[in-house]
Structure 1
């Protein structure tokens, strides 16, 4: 198998900036399934289609490297939703061999792979007014942390907490269907370990892993070959 196949007990994260020479025509879209192609085609703007296509082609390349299955042969399904048990929870491999999470924001894609449920998120640092408004939706202690920061630091403080929140909710499989004020993600949560990710100064990032303690995290800056 491919990337560090002998050591997949830890968490592997791919941080992939989308460079200027990436376009729809430069992507091998043949590896995508019918549903992925349908979703990609539904975007009105070329930039959004390129972002989606790049992210999903990259995800298949990563999972192929980890599992040894050809990219186009990978099949996906959904885990049961923790809220209603319907099959619209977090995306999973039909084989169940590894867990993964995908996030894309502007010109950055994050992919996380682990042997246990995982959620990953990248958030651009927002304008001050946006951070101030959305921070009110967070857990009271999280909102207090944002408000306690210096004015110029509040957008970054908010983005850090929002990335941790989304990573946790993606790992749970509820997404934003769960009350944003229900959990305080400043520290770990029962059964979950949350870690901030070192990204560009324009973004905040986080990974949530279904583990009571920390696992080794390895960051990759290029796709497997």
Structure 2
């Protein structure tokens, strides 16, 4: 943790990982400091640098944080979660070109002042899905249209308030109930 330039980044990282251990401890019945993590095989190349997994337990999990927002998801099936700040219009203009053509058209069809919010929503859905797959940005971001569900996956927007967009992707053949908690479980 000494590699962080800003104290706030180090604190956020530490908080996010303590929160993750607290949640996984509650789900597995294993003490937080006894949890062991490894990396799954990357679906793109097979090397052991895929998503993080527990070595001695079954819950799948995902972690995302941005600025003052930390999101954690856990399930029995592959899952991904992402939170993104609403970007500046110049960023939208540049990155929208890299998305699936249908996503790009949706952004372009929005009023100019609404494009950052539309982009953030799509980007959060995209990253949540790619985290769920275990590929991260190793998979072409133009390969999948995340405006709706993808075969075998449920994509949900999460209510996180102004200035952010967040999404959850769960591999599931049928809709599932999602519970959103605003604090760590006691």
Given the alignment of the two structures, is residue 87 of structure 1 paired with residue 48 of structure 2, yes or no?
yes
Structure with the larger RCO, 1 or 2 (CA within 8 Å, 6+ apart): 1
Q: What residue is the counterpart of 2:8 in the other structure?
A: 47
- TM-score under structure 2 length normalisation: 0.98
Alignment deviations for residues 31-58 of structure 1 (CA, whole Å, 9 cap, x no partner): xxxxxxxxx2211110110110000000
Question: Does structure 1 residue 67 correspond to structure 2 residue 28?
Answer: yes
Structure 2: tracts of 5 or more residues without a match: none
Q: CA-to-partner distance for each residue in 1:129-151, whole Å, 9 max, x for gaps?
A: 11111111100000000000011
The CA RMSD measured in Å over matched residues stands at 0.8
Give the paired residue count: 186
**Structure 1 segments (4+ residues) deviating >2 Å:** none
Q: 1:117 aligns with which of 78, 85, 109?
A: 78
For 1:66-108, what per-residue CA distance to the aligned partner results, in whole angstroms no more than 9, with x for missing partners?
1111000000111111111111111111123200000000110
Partner of 2:141: 180
How far, CA to CA, are the matches of 2:7 and 2:175 in structure 1?
39
TM-score, reference length from structure 1: 0.81
Cα 1:96–1:85, aligned 2, differ >3 Å: closer, same or farther? farther
> Who is 1:159 aligned against?
120
Name the residue aligned to 1:222. Answer: 183
Aligned partners of 2:28 and 2:57 also within 8 Å? no
Distance 2:146 2:32 in 1: 34
Secondary structure of 1:218 counterpart? coil
Secondary structure at the aligned position of 1:170 is classed as: helix
